[in-house]
Amino acid sequence: MASIDIIEKLVHKRLIKWYKKLLQPPVGVNGEYGDYVEYVFDRPVLFLGWKLGVTNVDTANNETITANITVEFENETKYAYIDLCDLSACYRERTISRIADLTEEGELGMVKRIRVRAKSNLATTNATVKLHVIYSG
């Protein structure tokens, strides 16, 4: 597998083509996750990262939105990530090198699926969650 640093440099220099897919899960209420939204790639791809956006959070009522993201690699390894947002809007980015730092072996393979679901701690919510998945392949 190529070095993650080399891959990121190639992407930034636009020497390899990359794609973006938007996933918008329904936000569950009362601390219960909404349904998963997933994207299954038609072939394993090189996962480059994601941008997570959470908006319309009700900070006046101490609302917290939790997003649960699972990346499944072709060798069946799964990487799960949880992000909390208790501001009116949150934006988070994860790149392949940061995700590799968080995985057990520090190495990534080709990705075959990504899933996301979200929940609010309140009984009702107007919050929205958007996950932009960035990949090459």
- Residue 89 CA, chain-centre distance (Å), reads 16
In this structure, the number of other CB atoms found within 10 A of the CB of residue 114 comes to: 23
Domains in the chain with CATH codes: 4-136 (2.60.120)
How confident is the prediction for the chain on average, in pLDDT? 81
Assign 2 a pLDDT band (cuts: 50, 70, 90).
very low
Residue with tokens 């960035």: 134
Per-residue model confidence as pLDDT tens digits over 81-135? 888 888 888 888 777 655 555 555 555 567 889 999 999 999 999 999 999 888 8
The candidate with the shortest Cα–Cα distance to 135, out of 37, 54, 42, is: 42
Percent of the chain having pLDDT more than 90? 39
Kindly state the average pLDDT of the residues 49-58.
89
72 — pLDDT class (breaks 50, 70, 90) = confident
Q: Which pTM does this prediction carry?
A: 0.80
Tens digits of residue pLDDT in 35-45 = 999 999 988 88
